[in-house]
Structure 1
Amino acid sequence: MYKLILPLLLLVGISTTAQDESSKKEGGFLKKAGGVLNKVKGGSNGSPLSNDEIIAGLKEALSVGASNSSQKLSALDGFFANAAIKVLMPPEAKKVESTLRAAGLGSMVDKAILSMNRAAEDASKSAAPIFIDAIKSMSFQDAFSILKGSDTAATSYLKGRTTTALTTAFKPVIEEALVKTDATKYWKDVFETYNKLPTTFKKINTDLSGYVTEKALSGLSFQV
């Protein structure tokens, strides 16, 4: 009975609040999964669930949450329409943006921003398998540490186990996506135009793929 009840509670608990919570706060899916597990880990009528049942339930909840997060971010406007994770011009390029907008070239900046977000959305498709691999390799100790930890324990675990792999996997995907979405072209247009202005004394040259990769990973961490 518990083997049936646990997955159902997990999936219902996650699906009913996933869209609302994940767009509002960090750890939307995984926090909800942990909360549901904490409610049911005592079993029904005081009968405790076995360790295997608890671990299986946790892994299922985390897998669903990670997959949903990856799917949500890889959808059209997954990054662009989410103010919390939208990829904007990097700090060192803020002067570039304000200067070009003041010169009536705001559309050029807008195209660059949109294309960076499209690249991040495209790359997010590859995140779920990496998250799920980390979840599958979770030990009993890892699982119980998550259950006994804070609301962000699961997110911290996944960040610790996947950041290197995600960075390695994302960089080439981001670079390909930047070309596919014309971000490279728009980025080049923005900075070449700025650097040629007579009022420009210090030229700007930002690592586009490195910046978008960093922002995409940050967005994934926030969403998960």
Structure 2
Amino acid sequence: MKNHFKYLIAIFTITTSCAELTQIVQTIEGDRPLTQTEVANGLREALKIGTDSAAGRLSQVNGYYGDELVRILLPPEASVITDNLNRIPGGDKLLEDVIIRINRSAEHAAKEATPIFVNAITRMTIQDAFTILRDGDNAATQYLRNHTYNELFNLYQPKIESSLNQSIVAGVSTNESWESLTGQWNRLAGSLAGQIAGFNTVEINLDEYLTHQALDGLFLKLAEEEAKIRTNPAARVTALLERVFGSSEAQR
């Protein structure tokens, strides 16, 4: 049997050109069913590429600040701060400085996000991989969100809190202004007159709110990277990615 196989290989080699032989091998390889290991490794590879790209882009200067889709802004309730800053000379610049500092903090934190993603990717099981491949759309992004969010929050939050504690005017920080102004508003809202007027108290922890905003931006960019790999063959930069996601695409 082994000798017959050798003869067949010899015949193929003699009667076909190298290009034709390569095409035959690729066709046979492409028709071979995906193994569990290939699916798992393909998803891990896709996640590593996607997280490297998303975190890398956001970690650059203006990665957050220069992108309107992910730029971190103060919550709408912060109008009690922004309205007051607008009334003082240079207030607009002071406000913009605060926004820049917050976004710079997020950009700095993004530089340290990759190891957290890699750790979650390494722990991914074969069953996880098949679920991600089957569910499609942003299933990989949701997997990482579920498995890294708390750790990423702990990475981002201290950096953003530090930016909020920096003085903006007259030795007063954004956090101090926020607490003072929302405290005054809440006393009014909680008074009889405030209740009659239907005022609502503002119960927002500023650094937590902004950290959630920063992470929403990170996962938004990761979802964009995942979509590219799932829908654009040109984004499948390795043979394994093409095989895994090309096969998944063909089954739809």
Structure 1 length-normalised TM? 0.68
Which residue of structure 2 lines up, in the alignment, with residue 222 of structure 1? 220
Counterpart of 1:157, as a letter, is Y
Matches of 1:164 and 1:122, distance apart in 2: 18
Which residue of structure 1 lines up, in the alignment, with residue 130 of structure 2? 144
Which residue of structure 1 lines up, in the alignment, with residue 36 of structure 2? 51
Q: Which runs of 5+ in 1 are unaligned?
A: 1-41
Alignment of 1:116-155 (within 5 A): 116-155=102-141
Alignment of 1:98-117 (within 5 A): 98-104=83-89, 105-117=91-103
Residues 1:81 and 2:66 aligned together = yes
Alignment of 1:176-191 (within 5 A): 176=162, 178=163, 184-186=166-168, 188-189=172-173
Q: How far 1:165 moved relative to its partner?
A: 1.5
Which residue of structure 2 lines up, in the alignment, with residue 164 of structure 1? 150
Q: Taking structure 1 as reference, are residues 47 and 106 closer, same or farther at Cα in structure 2, changes over 3 Å only?
A: same
Q: Taking structure 1 as reference, are residues 49 and 94 closer, same or farther at Cα in structure 2, changes over 3 Å only?
A: same
Q: Taking structure 1 as reference, are residues 193 and 162 closer, same or farther at Cα in structure 2, changes over 3 Å only?
A: closer
Q: How far 1:90 moved relative to its partner?
A: 1.6
Which residue of structure 1 lines up, in the alignment, with residue 247 of structure 2? none
Q: Taking structure 1 as reference, are residues 194 and 152 closer, same or farther at Cα in structure 2, changes over 3 Å only?
A: closer
Deviations 1:15-55 (A, max 9, x none): xxxxxxxxxxxxxxxxxxxxxxxxxxx98542223221221
Matches of 1:172 and 1:196, distance apart in 2: 21
Matches of 1:193 and 1:168, distance apart in 2: 24
Q: How far 1:150 moved relative to its partner?
A: 2.9
* Structure index of larger Rg: 2
Q: Taking structure 1 as reference, are residues 193 and 164 closer, same or farther at Cα in structure 2, changes over 3 Å only?
A: closer
Q: How far 1:60 moved relative to its partner?
A: 0.8
RMSD: 3.0
Which residue of structure 1 lines up, in the alignment, with residue 185 of structure 2? 202
Count residues with an aligned counterpart: 177
Counterpart of 1:106, as a letter, is D
Q: How far 1:93 moved relative to its partner?
A: 0.4
Counterpart of 2:220, as a letter, is F
Counterpart of 2:185, as a letter, is K
Structure 2 length-normalised TM? 0.61
